[in-house]
Amino acid sequence: MSFACHYGKCEHPNSNPTAPILEVKNVTVGYTNNCEPVLKNLSLELYPGDNAILIGKNGCGKSTFFKTLTNEIPLQTGEVLIHGSPRGNCHHLLAYLPQRSTINWYFPMDLFQFVLSGRYVHLGWFKRPQKKDKDIAEIFLKKMGLWEQKDKLTSELSGGQQQRALLARALTQQAEILLLDEPLNAIDQQTKDIIGRVFEEGLKAPTAVIMATHEIPQWKDVFNCTLNLVNQKLQKFDNINEAQHILSHGGGCHHG
Amino acid sequence: MDNLFDTLRQDYVIRAMIATLLLCISCATMGVYVVLRKMAFLGDALAHTALPGIVLAYFLKWPLFVGALFADILTALGISWLAKREKIKEDTAVGILFSSMFALGLFFLSGKSVRQDLTHMLFGSIINVTTKEITFMAITTLIVISFLTLIGKELAVTSMTPNYARQIGINPDFIRTLILLVLAITVVSSIQLVGVILTSAMLITPAATAGLFTKRIFPMMLLSTVFAITSGIGGLIITCIYNYPPGVVMVLLATLLFLISFSIKSIFKRS
């Protein structure tokens, strides 16, 4: 497994402004070399303003696709580029919201520190968060309606609050690419409304978003393209109706 | 009573107190992470694997803690390495490593006339602490405190969300290896205090007691240090009066504090 360790060093030397914000080129990944890969020769280009809904049945490889982009699993072939340079150099431009169940919420950390950890990628070793970092964390805690809870331990929060905390941390990173792994799964209506409002108010431009989901939210106008993960490949459609159509027909992933 | 104060004013007792204070600070603060990251078994393992190093150092006429440190750093790196292979579960690997290293230590010991000299490594001997050993303990305390403050935010992030840590460029396995190395140094210090067999108690019991009262890391470290020093210095004073092995008394006191706290906690919960 490769661990590009550029923690805190934010640079992308060959940055190309006309290159796609995120480019996936012929990527194949799998968990062991002998088994059939989960994703095969997959390619994708996203430009600023591309806000995509990612659909596909459970077990289709949506989380694997995200892990590919975040460098958590090694690529068997191909490459992932951000602004035209390898993602290891500019991982600070990519913020990832993992599924809530993957986090050890019982480790004692208060909510403010949890959201503030979204800034760590910009700080690196030994540097402490400055006032500027704390201000950014405060903005997103307030937007998520969590400011009153900021001193609580994360284990004391409700499921919906934890989900909002995750989104607040991802936004606090102020990245240009947001990867959201099922942020709407098993949450209360209040949380759904708050997340919707944050998206409708607009994200920091220029941004590209990929949100994995099983339901089309009411605030679907925020999104403008559909990614359908099917048979180890990604299909891209330049509208959101396609996602609605596929989901309503129970489709998404047709394993042969 | 006057007799006791005279004893406590003696040079060797003051040295023992300084050593105990230093060790309690490093064990209690490091212990908080050992408890929170569920590494109690590893702490115990590191204490036991020090034995062959101690015996070897004895034969080579090195300071014993150098041998212990050498064996423990080797074990810490060995565990990190084994944990990355996927074929063996980590606790199994640790179990094999620690009992075999302890057996190896006992094997070196068997039939030799050194047993009497090394008993104090098995049960601790803070009374005979040398200046060299105190220096080592002071350095240990400094390493532990600077480790916990300088790497604090990375420690927290890798403990809570290792995947996120990896995504932002912090390698959780690297942090884990660092923890194991600092833990190894702490354990070797603690061996001086309570010996190979009881060392894990000094790491775990005060931190676990503190964990009954608070769930936040910094208050937990402070409280854990208070509990550790209470049992450490308390144990030392009792030793001066009754001539028990100091390590044994310290561990029993720490356990007593835990039981009292646990009872208080249970009563408050019920009412």
Q: What are phi and psi of B204, to 5 degrees?
A: -95, -45
User: Does the CB of B204 have a partner CB in chain A at under 8 Å?
Assistant: no
The DSSP string of B2-61 is HHHHHHHTSHHHHHHHHHHHHHHHHHHHHHHHHHHTT-HHHHHHHHHHHHHHHHHHHHHT
Q: CA nearest A8: which of A97, A128, A104?
A: A128
pLDDT confidence of residue A5 = 45
Mean pLDDT of chain B: 87
| Most trustworthy range by pLDDT among B36-40, B75-79, B151-155, B245-249 | B151-155
How far A102 CA lies from chain B's nearest CA (Å)? 8
Strand-pair category, A225-230 with A233-237: antiparallel
pLDDT confidence of residue A13 = 55
pLDDT confidence of residue B104 = 87
* The pair of three-digit structure tokens given for residue B98, joined into one six-digit string: 């620690």
Task: Tell me if A102 and B163 make a contact (CB, 8 A cut-off).
Answer: yes
Q: Are A97 and A166 in contact (CB under 8 A)?
A: yes
Residues of chain B positioned with their CB less than 8 A from the CB of A117: 153, 156-157, 164
- Between B126 and B28, residue with greater pLDDT: B28
- Does the interface predicted TM-score (ipTM) exceed 0.90? no
Whether omega before A206 lies within 30 degrees of 0, making that bond cis, reads yes
To probe the interface with A, which of B164, B218, B223 has the most A CB atoms within 10 Å?
A: B164
pLDDT confidence of residue A255 = 41
Length of chain A, please? 256
Enclosing H/E stretch for B161:
none
Assign 3-class secondary structure to A86-155.
EHHHCHHHEEEECCHHHCCCCCCCEHHHHHHHHHHHHHCCCCCCCHHHHHHHHHHHHHCCCHHHCCCEHH
Strand ranges of the sheet holding A22-29, from the earlier edge strand across to the other edge = A39-46, A22-29, A77-82, A85-86
Structure letter (DSSP) for residue A228: E
What is the pLDDT averaged over residues B246-268?
93
- Between A243 and B256, residue with greater pLDDT: B256
User: Does the CB of B218 have a partner CB in chain A at under 8 Å?
Assistant: no
DSSP bridge partners of A80: A24
pLDDT confidence of residue A3 = 37
Between residues 21 and 60 of chain B, which touch chain A (CB distance below 8 Å)? Answer: 36
Q: Which residues of chain A have pLDDT under 70?
A: 1-6, 9-17, 33-34, 202-206, 250-256
How many whole angstroms separate alpha carbon B233 and alpha carbon B230? 6
How many whole angstroms separate alpha carbon A121 and alpha carbon A8? 5
pLDDT confidence of residue B86 = 64
pLDDT confidence of residue A1 = 33
For the domain made up of B2-266, give the CATH fold: ABC transporter involved in vitamin B12 uptake, BtuC (1.10.3470)
Domain-wise residue ranges, chain B: 2-266
How far B37 CA lies from chain A's nearest CA (Å)? 8
To probe the interface with A, which of B84, B146, B147, B167 has the most A CB atoms within 10 Å?
A: B167
Q: What is the pTM of this model?
A: 0.87
- The gap from C-alpha A117 to its chain's centroid, in whole angstroms, comes to 16
**At what angle are helices B246-270 and B172-213 packed, to 10 degrees?**
70
Q: Is A51 helix (H, G, I), strand (E, B) or coil?
A: strand
* The pair of three-digit structure tokens given for residue B111, joined into one six-digit string: 């039939």
Task: Tell me if A3 and B171 make a contact (CB, 8 A cut-off).
Answer: yes
Q: For tokens 């007691």, what's the residue?
A: B209
To probe the interface with A, which of B86, B148, B151, B168 has the most A CB atoms within 10 Å?
A: B168
